Amino acid sequence: MTQPAIAFSNSARTQIADALNQSVAETAVTTMLAQNFHWNVKGMSFAPLHDLFQRIYEDHFVAQDDLAERIRSIDMHADATLAGMLKRSKVSEHDGHATDKEMIKMMLSAQETLATTLGASGALAAEHGDTLTEDLCIARGQVHEKFAWFLRAHLA
């Protein structure tokens, strides 16, 4: 049976918040990675990649807020330091000195990482009966898988 988020045990809320904070960290790092690549991409595919990287960072900026607000809605703390996000994230930042294909491969890996992290976060939420967090994670995971598809198409 579905219950209000605040009714979940403190242990459940802590576990869910930790998983969501992981998702926020990876989303934040990937946001900056996409913006970096948007600014620095070169080559024959400049225009479509410049646009794709912009679509990614604009989407991810909103997603960070959605995920962090879900953490707050279960009455937990949203971690919001850049240093903490970089330390926690499985996605690494990059200086932007890369070929267009290298950028695509790094962004593809980041999207796949995000989809995996969100899938695990959603499964954890489901274990605790938090269908609203599960739904958010599923929806976000689908977005990252779609971006991964777009990126793989550039490598074909």
Mind listing the pLDDT tens digit for each residue in 49-94? 999 999 999 999 999 999 999 999 999 999 999 999 999 999 999 9
CA separation, residue 96 to residues 33, 35, 58, 92 (Å): 8, 10, 18, 12
Residue type, 16: I
Reply yes or no on whether the pLDDT at 153 is more than 70: yes
Reply yes or no on whether the pLDDT at 3 is more than 90: no
| Percent of the residues in the chain that have a pLDDT greater than 70, as a whole number | 99
For tokens 């959605």, the residue is 66
Give the pLDDT confidence of 83-128 residue by residue, as tens digits: 999 999 999 999 999 999 999 999 999 999 999 999 999 999 999 9
CB 13 within 8 A of CB 73: no
